[in-house]
Amino acid sequence: MPPAWTSELLRLAGLLAAGALIGGLYDHVLLGVLLVALACLGWHLYNLYRLDDWLRTGRLDVVPDGSGVWPPVFARIEYIREKSRRRRRRWRQLVRELRASAGTFPDGGVLLNENFEIVSFNAAAERLLSLKKLWDRGQRIENLLRHPDFVAYIAAGDFSRTIELPAPAGGDAWVSCLVVPYGPDQRLLLVRDITATIRMDRTRRDFVANASHELRTPLTVITGYLDALAEDVGAPAGWHAPLAEMRSQSARMARLLDDLLELSHLESAGPRGLERAVDIGALLESARREAMAMPDHPRRVEVEVGSQARVLGDPLELHSVVSNLVSNAVRYTPPEGAVRIGWHADPAGGHLVVADTGIGIAEEDIPRITERFYRTDRGRARQKGGTGLGLAIVKHCLRRHEAELEIRSRPGEGSTFTCHFPPHRLALS
Ligand code: ADP
């Protein structure tokens, strides 16, 4: 027991004994004890009143004095209060520091509650999203960032990816947004200024598109002269081989320019025009005819259409997907091999399969073959007339149709390219 309480109990016992003694002198022992007990009770009530008064109204830094057990009680309360005051000061300081450092971040941060209402935001978010401190707190974020892509992003609730949007302030500023969930039902919207990257990307795209466009005219002229020379019966015999090589190279260059133009068109095209119901069965049949018209095609090119489901998309882009995959399968499969082109649908979506029994692809090359100009064997690819852009075009077209490309392959055994279309991209006729 703390010493203050021991001496308090001893004092109480002493006082009660004195009360009993004095009461005994007057033949009223109990009365004496009672009076002493009442006096003690009154004294403790008085101190309790002082404590309550101090906690309610008194100056918190002036501890009331007293005697007995009360000074340690006052002191302990004061100690606890001082500790919590210090903790509050530390928290306030920490919040101030956090606010100050968040204010210096080049990236924007917007705190959102479980209803996607704005709790607070830093200076960069204020600037990038044109938010106003006084008005926008408590507003739903989609009411302020009304871009359809952002509204759909929030509604879908899939925050594993970043989305890019024109900045609400207008001009040609762009921002990327990523929602990071944290704590129970809290979200942080991270906003980054990507104007410079978008501008650079646009400049690169425009340059490639313009250069390809400009190169087309002189190439058409050269090809015209080469065709004329090749048909000229009076041309010296020694010219035939170089002329044939020059014609094949200029045809390759024309294909390269066409692919570059198609790729830059795909990169800059918006999501419009992707809603037509495309008959995949008919596309596969036409791809088979194209394959059978290619030189050295495999003897067996089979089509299996297991579903009448159509894909909502752009017919030209979907044709490009099928024709690039089939032309690769044909070019990388020997004549004695086989190519199978299939289409089927299940609850997971639509699946377009192009499988061959050709040369196959090494495991380490598979993740890279959809990169522009990436070839597993440059010499062979060139000799096969490839541009190195076919699969990059396929990947872009599929991305625009929200589809995924799956590649399975074994060197020497063949490859299977499968395009998985999500169920909402299918139309059942
Ligand atoms: P290319 O025009 O050179 O064929 P692609 O982008 O279409 O360019 O393909 C990239 C590379 O992927 C090719 O050079 C080839 O090495 C490999 N490839 C693509 N399809 C197949 C296939 N069906 N079988 C084997 N290799 C393939």
**What confidence category does residue 394 fall into, taking pLDDT thresholds of 50, 70 and 90?**
very high
Of 56-70, 250-264, 322-336, which gets the smallest average pLDDT? 56-70
Could you tell me where the DSSP H helices lie in 315-417? Answer: 315-331, 378-383, 390-400
Structure tokens of 269?
């095209």
**What confidence category does residue 381 fall into, taking pLDDT thresholds of 50, 70 and 90?**
low
Phi, psi of 411 (to 5 degrees): -55, 130
Q: Identify the CA nearest to 189 among candidates 175, 168, 210, 207.
A: 175
pLDDT more than 90, % of the chain:
63
Atom of ligand 1 nearest to the CA of 387: 2
**What confidence category does residue 58 fall into, taking pLDDT thresholds of 50, 70 and 90?**
low
Task: Give 135 or 402, the one with higher predicted confidence.
Answer: 402
Beta-sheet pairing, 118-121 with 108-112? antiparallel
Name the DSSP class of 239: G
Give nearest CA residue, ligand 1 atom 20: 328
Q: Determine the Cα–Cα distance for residues 423 and 136; give it in Å rounded to an integer.
A: 38
C-alpha 230 to ligand 1 mean position (Å)? 31
Neighbours of 152 (CB within 10 A): 11
Q: Determine the Cα–Cα distance for residues 216 and 254; give it in Å rounded to an integer.
A: 7
- CA distance to 349, 377, 388, 392, per residue, from 374 (Å): 30, 9, 6, 9
Biggest CA-to-CA distance, the chain: 157
Instruction: Judge whether 128 and 167 are in contact, CB under 8 Å.
Output: yes
Tens of pLDDT, residues 250-288: 998 999 999 999 998 888 877 677 789 999 999 999 999
Q: Determine the Cα–Cα distance for residues 322 and 89; give it in Å rounded to an integer.
A: 67
**416 CB-near residues (< 8 Å, 6+ apart):** 353, 354, 355, 356, 407, 408, 409
Structure tokens of 272?
């419009």
Q: Determine the Cα–Cα distance for residues 299 and 340; give it in Å rounded to an integer.
A: 11
Instruction: Judge whether 290 and 327 are in contact, CB under 8 Å.
Output: yes
Name the DSSP class of 337: S
Instruction: Judge whether 289 and 416 are in contact, CB under 8 Å.
Output: no
Q: Identify the CA nearest to 303 among candidates 342, 351, 352, 345.
A: 342
Neighbours of 273 (CB within 10 A): 13
Tens of pLDDT, residues 136-154: 888 999 998 889 989 999 9
Q: How many helices (H) and strands (E) does the chain have?
A: 13, 13
pLDDT at 61 (0 to 100): 65
pLDDT at 403 (0 to 100): 95
Structure tokens of 209?
């598109």
Tens of pLDDT, residues 294-317: 988 999 999 999 999 999 999 999
C-alpha 380 to ligand 1 mean position (Å)? 10
pLDDT at 380 (0 to 100): 67
Q: Identify the CA nearest to 415 among candidates 373, 376, 374.
A: 376
Q: Which residues line ligand 1 (CB under 6 A)?
A: 324, 328-329, 332, 356, 358-361, 369, 375-377, 381, 386-392, 415
| Residue 89 reports pLDDT greater than 80 | yes
| Residue 106 reports pLDDT greater than 90 | no
Q: Identify the CA nearest to 268 among candidates 349, 205, 194.
A: 205
Computed over every residue of the chain, the mean pLDDT equals 90
C-alpha 416 to ligand 1 mean position (Å)? 12
pLDDT at 270 (0 to 100): 72
C-alpha 328 to ligand 1 mean position (Å)? 6
Tens of pLDDT, residues 175-199: 999 999 888 888 999 999 999 999 9
pLDDT at 102 (0 to 100): 78
Burial environment of residue 19 by CB neighbours within 10 A (0 to 12, 13 to 18, 19 or more): buried
C-alpha 267 to ligand 1 mean position (Å)? 21
Q: Determine the Cα–Cα distance for residues 399 and 317; give it in Å rounded to an integer.
A: 11
Bridge partners of 190, per DSSP, are 109, 178
User: Which residue among 258, 330, 375 has the greatest number of ligand 1 atoms within 8 angstroms of its CB, and so is best to mutate?
Assistant: 375
pLDDT at 238 (0 to 100): 87
**C-alpha torsion 70→74→75→80, nearest 10:** 140
User: Which residue among 252, 253, 259, 328 has the greatest number of ligand 1 atoms within 8 angstroms of its CB, and so is best to mutate?
Assistant: 328
User: Which amino acid appears at position 104 of this protein?
Assistant: T
* R_g over Cα of the chain: 41
Name the DSSP class of 113: -
Per-residue pLDDT averaged across 357-379, rounded? 89
**23 CB-near residues (< 8 Å, 6+ apart):** 29, 30, 31, 32, 33, 35
pLDDT more than 70, % of the chain:
97
Name the DSSP class of 335: T
